[in-house]
């Protein structure tokens, strides 16, 4: 058990096919007290998450669900306050909430750019700020931000320049947190996934998917469980001396 009794918020977990869900499942497996959050979280979604985790683990799972739009600062503050009121403290934030859209640069409208940055960058910023206020008082805490290969290579396999820019900002934000809060024992790291089997890949045609897979050294797409494993490593003491890092989970798509 790598996260025994650790209180962890996992954002972006509404879909059972998401990276957030797989991370919540693995964290519960490792003894964490998990709070799943999403803009689409509600009692029905939470019940399906709980049922799925309990089926997999063959035991009851203590898991809370709180609705939060991360682009809303008050929502983020309220989420963290609620978690602290339930559990008394907060150990870890996994931010896997986000949106993706593919579009040529010159076709992206101001409102499309605003939406992308509001959720993927400002939302990450707000959520981290809310958690860091608690972490600062505790003098402990751990943040894992799920960015994207798009931030590293200039545009994604499924995301446009506005998506890439939002995730690039997330990488810089994470490094800044690591530098500013390291002296308090607070760690922050990013993961750059690519081609993980989630609803984000649903829009790809079979032909495009095959072409992308042919170019991946491991010759397959990744599973959400494999992303969850990377989150577990960064959230646990296994990575105790790792902060400000960017971990690639891309099957070798971008070797640099």
Query: What residue is closest to ligand NAD based on CB?
Result: 98
Applying CB under 6 A, does 19 fall inside the site for ligand NAD? yes
Which one of residues 31, 182, 199, 252 is an interface residue with ligand NAD (CB under 6 A)?
199
Sequential DSSP letters for 133-194 = HHHHHHT-EEEEEE--HHHHHTS-SS--HHHHHHHHHHHHHHHHHHHHHGGGTEEEEEEEE-
Site string for ligand NAD, 204-243 (x = CB under 6 A): ----------------------------------------
> Contact between 119 and ligand NAD (CB under 6 A)?
yes
* Contact by Cβ (8 Å): 130, 66: no
Of these, 33, 64, 96, 161, which contacts ligand NAD (CB under 6 A)?
96
Q: Which stretch binds ligand NAD (CB under 6 A): 32-40, 78-86, 204-212, 240-248?
A: 32-40
**Residues 150-169, interacting with ligand NAD (CB under 6 A):** none
How many Å apart are CA 178 and CA 166, to the nearest integer?
A: 19
β-pairing verdict for 63-67 and 92-95? unpaired
Interaction residues for ligand NAD, span 38-57 (CB under 6 A): 38-40
70 touches ligand NAD (CB under 6 A)? yes
Whether residue 233 lies in the annotated active site: no
Which of 21, 27, 163, 181 is an active site residue?
163
Which of 194, 216, 235, 247 is in the footprint of ligand NAD by CB under 6 A?
194
Q: Tell me the CB-side half-sphere exposure of residue 145, using CA atoms within 13 A.
A: 37
Least CB distance from residue 162 to ligand NAD, whole Å?
A: 12
Question: Measured between alpha carbons, how far is 148 from 209 in angstroms, rounded to an integer?
Answer: 18
Neighbours of 139 (CB within 10 A): 11
According to CB under 6 A, which residues from 124 to 153 bind ligand NAD?
A: 146, 148-149
- Cα–Cα distance for residue pair 58/52, rounded to 1 Å: 10
Residue of 196, 194, 189, 192 whose CA lies nearest to 235: 189
Catalytically annotated residues = 163
């Amino acid at each position: 058990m790598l996260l025994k009794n650790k209180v962890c918020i996992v954002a972006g977990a509404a879909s059972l096919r998401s990276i957030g869900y797989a991370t919540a499942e693995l964290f519960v497996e490792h003894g964490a007290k998990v709070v799943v959050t999403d803009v689409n979280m509600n009692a029905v979604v939470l019940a399906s998450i709980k049922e799925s985790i309990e089926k997999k683990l063959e035991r009851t799972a203590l898991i809370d669900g709180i609705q939060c739009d991360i682009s809303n600062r008050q929502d983020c503050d309220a989420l963290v306050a609620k978690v602290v009121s339930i559990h008394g403290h907060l150990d870890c934030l996994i931010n896997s909430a986000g949106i993706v859209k593919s579009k040529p640069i010159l076709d992206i409208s101001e409102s499309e750019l605003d939406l992308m940055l509001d959720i993927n960058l400002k939302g990450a910023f707000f959520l981290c700020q809310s958690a860091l206020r608690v972490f600062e008082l505790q003098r402990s805490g751990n943040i894992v931000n799920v960015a994207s290969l798009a931030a590293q290579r200039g545009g994604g396999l499924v995301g446009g320049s506005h998506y890439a820019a939002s995730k690039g900002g997330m990488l810089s934000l994470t490094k800044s947190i690591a530098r500013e809060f390291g002296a308090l024992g607070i760690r922050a790291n990013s993961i750059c996934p690519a081609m993980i089997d989630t609803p984000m890949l649903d829009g790809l045609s079979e032909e495009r998917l095959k072409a992308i897979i042919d170019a991946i050294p491991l010759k397959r797409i990744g599973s959400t469980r494999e992303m969850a494993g990377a989150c577990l490593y960064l959230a646990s003491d296994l990575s105790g001396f790792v902060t400000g890092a960017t971990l690639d989970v891309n099957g070798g798509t971008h070797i640099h």
